[in-house]
């Protein structure tokens, strides 16, 4: 028996399987990373917070206690609406360059200038967390 010949066939099968397995993994993870479909609320029950207070109470409470919650930057200002209507695109993870920039453009430009960083805001400034107490807001560099 020619071990090389046998191995070539097996190798080919394995290689094909490996390749398509990777393809499958990529595309399925894409489906997951691309976002799940948000339910369509009834017209009268469309207030994000009223529902998410029950459905995702931790996030809702974090928001309420945060600076955004105190000054009433409501959910749709950053996330838009599930059916894509309104002035802000629908996003579970809003893009800082499209959304945060509407209010925080001066601060983002300052950050970019001072620290040369692309504005990936969430790393230091958790949007929903109780940012009234978060360290990022007490750092002296972020003032004046």
Residues numbered 105-134 forming contacts with other proteins, rule: CB under 8 A: 105-107, 132
74 touches other proteins by CB under 8 A: yes
The nearer residue to other proteins, 6 or 115, going by C-beta atoms, is 6
Among residues 1, 2, 5, 72, the one that binds other proteins under rule CB under 8 A: 72
Site residue total, other proteins (CB under 8 A): 72
- Residue 136: name the closest of 97, 12, 115 by CA: 115
Among 59, 88, 124, 136, binds other proteins (CB under 8 A): 88
Q: How far is the CB of 117 from other proteins (least distance, A)?
A: 19
Q: Which of 1, 5, 30, 140 binds other proteins (CB under 8 A)?
A: 30
Minimum Å gap between C-beta 123 and other proteins is: 17
Among 2, 59, 66, 89, binds other proteins (CB under 8 A): 89
- DSSP collapsed to 3 states, the chain: CCHHHHHHHHHHHHHHHHHHHHHHHHHHHHHHHCCCCCCCCCHHHCCHHHHHHHHCHHHHHHHHHCHHHHCCCCHHHHHCCCCCCCCCCCCCCCCCCCCCHHHHHHHHHHHHHHHCCCCCHHHCCCCCCCCCCCHHHCCHHHCC
Closer residue to other proteins (CB): 70 or 117: 70
């Amino acid at each position: 028996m020619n071990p090389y010949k046998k191995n070539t066939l097996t190798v080919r099968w394995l290689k094909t399987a490996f390749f398509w397995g990777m393809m499958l993994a990529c595309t399925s993870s894409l489906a997951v990373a691309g976002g799940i479909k948000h339910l369509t609320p009834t017209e009268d029950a469309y207030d994000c917070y009223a529902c998410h207070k029950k459905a995702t109470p931790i996030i809702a409470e974090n928001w309420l206690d945060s600076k955004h919650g105190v000054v009433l930057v409501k959910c749709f200002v950053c996330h838009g609406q599930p059916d894509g209507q309104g002035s802000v695109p629908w996003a579970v993870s809003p893009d800082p360059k499209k959304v945060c920039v509407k209010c925080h453009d001066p601060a983002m430009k300052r950050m970019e200038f001072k620290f040369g960083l692309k504005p990936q805001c969430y790393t230091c400034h958790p949007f929903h967390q109780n940012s009234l107490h978060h360290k990022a807001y007490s750092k002296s560099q972020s003032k004046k």
